[in-house]
Structure formats: structure tokens, C-alpha cells
Structure 1
Amino acid sequence: MVKTKNIQNASDSLWEKCERCSEFEFMQTLARNSYLCQHCGHYYDMPALSRLKQIFQNKFEKITLPLENDILICSGEGTISGSQVVLIAISHIGELQIEHLDSFLITIQHAIAVRMPLIVISSGMNHSKSKISLSYIAQIAIEMNFHKQMNLLQISVLTDGNMTDSLSAIFPLGDLTLVEWEAEDNRLTTPLDAFVDRYVLRHEIPVLIGQLLSWSSENK
């Protein structure tokens, strides 16, 4: 581990400062450790492409999206515990744009076309300042419902514990809702917890998703 005092003139492209403990992490080390601070255990915001690599263990086929920036949004098709699934990962987006919704809609339609379960991992979208038409958002809800009517599992993983600012505020949640949380978090029970099936640590997410897919397959 590298302490802050040992870093001088650190390049922004090589090092990242933890917002919790203020220590610096080497970017390559962060990537290898699923963007977990080695000093305090804080979760850095994980790039969308890195999410897919983590869940699919680097074996997946990317879905072509309008946005080429796979740090913010990335979709792919791959296998988890023997089940073929479609997954979209959404990193934290400052302001909701039409291209973001297009990417989400394309991913849902792809899952419908190939008749596969859909997994949505989201850090949330800031829609308070968005000028996106509600009718466009309604179209996404319709497609999500159509996918669900095909008896295909939907899993939502919210990586922002503040659900009021998360993707769930404007889009329907899946059949199962997981919230990624840090071991040090002291969560209070609130009415919003009724929407959460389970709080889970980052490194446990791939295994838990695999278990849920296996359970769903066995109970069809």
C-alpha cells in the first residue's frame, strides 16, 4: 500500500485519491481489486466495462450501443453459472441524456429478442435536471414489462444506497433487487428497505447473481 505522504506530483491518470480516507491508490491496483480502497475498504465508482468484466469473468460479447463511452454505460451477453444472460452496467451519470435511455432500451430489446434474463447494475442517473420526455421513459417501462411477461428473470443491482437518486426512481425494479453496500456501512431500517431483497458486498455480487439464476432456472 502507498501512503499519501509518499506520493509527490502524482499524475491524475495514474493515481486516485480516496474520498473517504484521502489515501492514494494506484489505478491499476484499483482495477485489479474491483475498485476497492485497500486502506479503508471504501468502494470507488466502478466503470461500466469493469463491471461486465467482473460479473462475466472477462468472457462476454458486447452489445453495440449509441454511446461509445463504455466507462459510463456498457452492455453485454454472456454466461453466469451456466445461464445465458444480458447485462447492462451504468456508472454514475451526471445528467440523463437521450443516448443513455437509447442504450438502456436497446439492451432490454436485445434481452427480449434472445429470450434471456436481464441484469441491470446501476449507480444511478441524475434525472432532476433532465428534459427527457416522460413518454420515452414510459416506453422503457413497457419493454421491461414485456420482458417480464416472457417469464424471464430481471435482477436490479443498485450500487448507490440512496435509492431516491438511483435508477429505480424512474424505472421499474426487477423481480429481485440487490443493493451494493460497504461492510462498514451502518444502515438504518427505513420504509425504502421494503424494496430491497438483499444488501450485498461488491465481491459477493457475481456469486449471488449466479445462485439466483440457478434458482430461477430450477423453479420454472
Structure 2
Amino acid sequence: MNWLTNLVRPKFQQLVRTRDVPDNLWTKCPACGHMIFHKELDKNARLCSHCGHHMRLPVERRLAMLFDNGEFERIELPKVPLDPLKFRDEKRYTDRLKDAQSKTGEKDAIIVAHGRMGGINTVVAAFNFAFMGGSMGPAVGEGLVAAAELAVLQEAPLIVIPASGGARMQEGILSLMQMPRTTIAVDKVKEKGLPYFVLLTDPTTGGVSASFAMLGDVTLAEPGAVIGFAGARVIETTIRETLPEGFQRAEYLLDHGMVDMVVPRHEVRDTLIRLIDLLMNPRQSAIVLPLPAPGRPDGAPEVPPPPGPGVQPPPPAEAAGPEPTSGG
């Protein structure tokens, strides 16, 4: 046994050997370019610690941030045909679905959950952008309809958090039909007198933004989120003009009245709870005073002025005698 070969050499090799470093330990911020350690990024809810840029947040993490103590229950969504059009481009649509399902562990691009926010029963429908870009097809439409029906059943507010590239092209006209379906579902919630909130996240585009995403009683958005229908390059090519800086960003839409509030991610939960409490538990903001009765300003009945000197007050009606009759 050669101790130099079997003992000393392996020790030196361990000292000089290049270690394999996983690729997912550091994330580069797309806004400022800083490298952020993955644990620091996850601890800060995927916000850049240097510039505050809001990166995309996994849907399960977002739901845990919203509900009390991170506790919620998911509902089983209705089943739909997987490939109604037998669509195929570079690969079969069914194969694309299987790939997305294996990567995300979800059946489709939407999750419907219910629980308590600020002690109030709340229903949340959140999109998963990692599932085929959060595209909307019949499965997503069924999920939104189920969320609206559950909100009506529980008499609870409905919160929708879209993150989508629009309608799913592999399902053609069936995906476009989800636009009126989801609009009708939202109307049922409003007809019941329940509040409907929308939290726009990056990105919200296409048929999603052209339907239920813009119908909220109160519409919130995360800072820097891309919100619009067609892409900026498509618009510039169509109108042959340069778009203004910040076009289709949440702050631009806030300035032009399309969004009610732009709320940082750490403040979303408190803001939604405050809005839910205001709309679900209305109460008078001040003491209501009774209006004064006609007459004196203080509401007291009018009192006739005292008679002047030498003027006899008229007798009471009950003390007056019978009217004199003329003699014959």
C-alpha cells in the first residue's frame, strides 16, 4: 500500500479541486443588475434589496402571505377536456400540458383558495404564470366561475390575482369564450352586493386584461407590473409612433385612471384587509345629528309673541261662547 498515492494525493486533490456550484444560488435583478443570494431573495418575498424591483412570486407563497397565519384551503376545480381541438404545432398540446403539470405540480394555470383575511371569510383566485405563461383556457374559466360561486355561497369577498399572457392559443375560440364567461361570473358576485377586488401583477395582458381583470370594484397593482392588451412593440409598429416612457406600467395606468392604487408587495395584505373591512362592515363615520324641525333653528315649535299694551289676547277656542243670532 502506497500511502502517498492512497492518502496524501486525495487530500491535495480535495484542496485544489473545483467545486460544482448550483446555478440557482444567485439571481440577477432584471432592473438594476445586482446579484442577490437566493435565501435573501426568498426572505424578502422576491423583492430586490437594492432597488425594490418586484420579481414574480410563486402562487403558493403569495396565498400564504395573504391569508391569516398562512392558512387556506384549496378547492377542487371542475374537469375540462384536455385537448378539445387536437392541436399540434412543434409538439402535441397534450405533451405541453404534461410538461407544465410536471414542472409546476398543478393541473392548470389557476388556483382557487378560501380562508380568512383579517378574520373575514375570503375567496382568492390566483394565476400561476409558471404554467404556460398563466394563459387562460376553459380550465381557467371554470376556475374563475367556481371562485365566484364559492364567494356567493359563503357571502365572502372575491379577490382575483391575474398574471397572464392572455388567452391560450392552443384552445382557439374556446379560450376566447372565457372572456364573457368570467365577466358574467364577476357580475354575479356584484349582484349579491359582495366586493370584488383585483390585484394586477406582472404581467397582466391579452384577453385577461380585456375581461375580468379590469372590472374590480377596487383595482390594485404591484409596482412596475406590465398591464395592457397588446405588447408595446406591436402597438408601436401599428401606430408608427414612439410610446411614452413607462407605458403599460402600473404607475402609468395609475396616473391615467385605470388603476386605483399601486401597493408594494409587503403592504398588499394590510391594504386588502382594510378595504374588505370598509366594504363588508359599513359604519357611520361621524355622529348623525337630527335635522331641526321647521320654525326655529333649534327645532322648538314656534311660540306666538306676547300681545302689546292695551291689546287683549283672544280667548281660547274652547272658552268662546256661541255666536250671537240676529233677532226678529
Which band: TM-score by shorter chain? 0.7 to 0.9
Structure 1 residue runs without a partner (length 5+): 1-7
Counterpart mapping for 1:132-147 below 5 A: 132-133=173-174, 134-147=176-189
- Look up the match of 2:237: none
- Look up the match of 1:106: 146
Distance change (3 Å), C-alpha of 1:102 and 1:30: farther
Query: Contact (CA 8 Å) 1:74, 1:89: kept in 2 or not?
Result: yes
Distance change (3 Å), C-alpha of 1:98 and 1:15: farther
Distance change (3 Å), C-alpha of 1:72 and 1:32: farther
- Look up the match of 1:85: 122
- Structure with bigger RCO (C-alpha 8 Å, 6+ apart): 1
Counterpart mapping for 1:13-24 below 5 A: 13-24=24-35
The CA distance in 1 between the partners of 2:192 and 2:62, in whole Å, is 26
How many residues align? The count is: 210
Q: Which has the larger radius of gyration?
A: 2
The CA distance in 1 between the partners of 2:251 and 2:268, in whole Å, is 22
1:192 deviates by 7.7
Deviations 1:164-203 (A, max 9, x none): 5483323252211011115xx8976569832211111111
Distance change (3 Å), C-alpha of 1:15 and 1:69: farther
- Look up the match of 2:45: 34
Distance change (3 Å), C-alpha of 1:165 and 1:156: same
Deviations 1:36-91 (A, max 9, x none): 12233211101111110011141211222367528953221111112110011213
Secondary structure in 2 matching 1:157: strand
- Look up the match of 2:159: 119
- Look up the match of 1:4: none
Secondary structure in 2 matching 1:146: helix
Could you tell me which amino acid in structure 2 is paired with residue 83 of structure 1?
I
Could you tell me which amino acid in structure 2 is paired with residue 169 of structure 1?
A
Distance change (3 Å), C-alpha of 1:70 and 1:116: farther
Secondary structure in 2 matching 1:194: coil
- Look up the match of 1:3: none
Higher strand share: 1
Distance change (3 Å), C-alpha of 1:177 and 1:32: same
TM-score scaled by length of structure 2: 0.56
Which piece of structure 1 moves more, 134-143 or 10-19? Answer: 10-19
Which piece of structure 1 moves more, 93-102 or 168-177? Answer: 93-102
- Look up the match of 2:270: 207
Distance change (3 Å), C-alpha of 1:203 and 1:138: same
Deviations 1:7-36 (A, max 9, x none): x96424444332223333333432221111
* Mapped pair 1:194 → 2:257: yes
Structure 2 residue runs without a partner (length 5+): 1-18, 80-100, 225-245, 284-328
1:132 deviates by 4.2
Secondary structure in 1 matching 2:167: coil
* Mapped pair 1:168 → 2:209: yes
Cα RMSD for the two superposed structures:
3.1
The CA distance in 1 between the partners of 2:54 and 2:254, in whole Å, is 25
1:154 deviates by 0.5
